[in-house]
Amino acid sequence: MSTAPAFTPRVFSGIQPSGGLTLGNYLGALKRFVEKQEQGVETIYCLVDLHAITVWQDPSKLRHSTREAAAAFLAAGIDPARSILFNQSQVPAHAELAWIFNCVARMGWLSRMTQFKDKAGKNRENAAVGLFVYPNLMAADILAYHATHVPVGEDQKQHLELTRDIAIKFNHDYGVEFFPVVEPVIEGVATRVMSLRDGTKKMSKSDPSDMSRINLTDDADTIAQKIRKAKTDPEPLPDEVSGLESRPEARNLVNIYAALEDTTPTAVLRAFGGHGFGSFKPQLADLAVTKLAPISAEMTRLMADPAEIDRILGDGAARADAIARPILERCFDIVGMVRSRPV
């Protein structure tokens, strides 16, 4: 009997171009996107500009951030010949499939989404409707390609569960095996990189304090300074990982070291156990500069030629469209839409 899976493995992931990318995006997402590409699986990566406008974006800044995020992907090692790299709004299938999913997902499911609650804040009446249905668009991003594997950071787990629920309900309601039930790929030591100012908060591009994060555009001096000033406790590093419990800032810096060096927190503590932060931080700063400075330099080089970035995104969009359009057409047919327009 054949054990071949019904769906060929295909990786899809996305990042919002809503400001500069951080070390969290790099370790939790970008670096792992490159690893997937190197494994030889089909990889599709998307700058989700339609998601970004669920909160206000200045148009010229959005355009800049989209190109800058594309430059970050390329500088981190995404090869546009082997991966598809594009921005979401250039492929209409995302928004079209999202509408179908608006009619599949239930109000109750979306009301439980913690990202909506966080971003809408207290004044929910004033939140954009798009912010509420954001996860349906995310499900559409993934399912328009019949993607099977989605590498993301820990914060996206709930959205991926919703994507699974949408696929299952669609398949059930229409009596088909049409959409794959996707696998979240949340792995590695850096699935949740924390703020440098508060080890209990996620490192985020929207944090008001620039000292809380390392931006991929930061130069060597800025990176080193931010690490030197990172909040810590007065104790030396422990010998074992269990000693990091209830020391969120220490754990965060050890995890960052491990992720940058492609090793484990255990190995980091084997080398640094007993050391104070006075000796650990400069070594972490050196490592971070060694790994990140070439990325930021390459981003600057790429950003000098925005037309070339736009060309890469446009080419990626055409290739993405060629995959998504036939899937969307089959979906419309399943739902009962007459399709008769001459092509």
Catalytic positions: 119, 202, 205
Shortest Å distance, C-beta 29 to ligand AMP: 4
Which helix (H) or strand (E) segment holds residue 184: the answer is strand 183-185
Query: Is 14 a residue that touches ligand TRP (CB under 6 A)?
Result: yes
Are 226 and 218 within 8 A, CB to CB?
yes
N-term to C-term CA, the chain: 40
Q: Which is nearer to ligand TRP, 10 or 159 (CB)?
A: 159
Shortest Å distance, C-beta 228 to ligand TRP: 29
CA dihedral 16, 19, 22, 24 (to 10 degrees): -30
Distances (CA, A) of 204 to 63, 120, 155: 20, 16, 11
Look up tokens 């990889």; give the residue.
Answer: 43
Of 30-49, binders to ligand AMP (CB under 6 A) are none
Query: Is 153 a residue that touches ligand AMP (CB under 6 A)?
Result: yes
Q: How many CB atoms lie within 10 A of CB 266?
A: 13
What are the b/e assignments for 126-160, b being 16+ CB within 10 Å? ebeeebbbbbbbbbbbbbbbbbbbbbbbebbebbb
Query: Is 13 a residue that touches ligand TRP (CB under 6 A)?
Result: yes
Q: What are phi and psi of 216, to 5 degrees?
A: -65, -15
User: Could you say which DSSP state residue 194 is in?
Assistant: B
- Span of 152-160, 226-234, 278-286, 334-342 interacting with ligand AMP by CB under 6 A: 152-160
Tally the C-alpha atoms within 13 A of residue 173's C-alpha that lie toward its C-beta.
16
Are 334 and 178 within 8 A, CB to CB?
yes
Query: Is 68 a residue that touches ligand TRP (CB under 6 A)?
Result: no
Are 164 and 142 within 8 A, CB to CB?
no
Shortest Å distance, C-beta 235 to ligand TRP: 34
Shortest Å distance, C-beta 77 to ligand AMP: 16
Shortest Å distance, C-beta 285 to ligand AMP: 19
Look up tokens 């148009």; give the residue.
Answer: 59
- Span of 81-89, 100-108, 184-192, 273-281 interacting with ligand AMP by CB under 6 A: 184-192
Of 124-163, binders to ligand TRP (CB under 6 A) are 138, 141-142, 150, 152, 156, 159
Residue 258 touches which member of ligand AMP, ligand TRP, none, C-beta under 5-8 Å by kind? none
> Inter-axis angle of helices 277-303 and 248-261, to 10 degrees?
50
Distances (CA, A) of 161 to 8, 96, 218, 302, 335: 20, 21, 34, 36, 23
Binding mask 90-129 for ligand AMP (x = CB under 6 A): ----------------------------------------
- Span of 11-19, 69-77, 244-252, 322-330 interacting with ligand TRP by CB under 6 A: 11-19
- Span of 103-111, 188-196, 235-243, 327-335 interacting with ligand AMP by CB under 6 A: 188-196
Shortest Å distance, C-beta 12 to ligand AMP: 11
Among 152, 256, 260, 323, binds ligand AMP (CB under 6 A): 152
- The SS3 of residue 55 is coil
Query: Is 15 a residue that touches ligand AMP (CB under 6 A)?
Result: yes
Query: Is 203 a residue that touches ligand AMP (CB under 6 A)?
Result: yes
Are 156 and 118 within 8 A, CB to CB?
no
Query: Is 193 a residue that touches ligand AMP (CB under 6 A)?
Result: yes
Q: How many CB atoms lie within 10 A of CB 19?
A: 18
Among 10, 149, 202, 291, binds ligand AMP (CB under 6 A): 202
- Which residues of the chain form contacts with ligand AMP (CB under 6 A)? 15-16, 24-25, 28-29, 152-153, 155-156, 190-193, 202-203
- Which residues of the chain form contacts with ligand TRP (CB under 6 A)? 12-14, 16, 48, 51, 138, 141-142, 150, 152, 156, 159
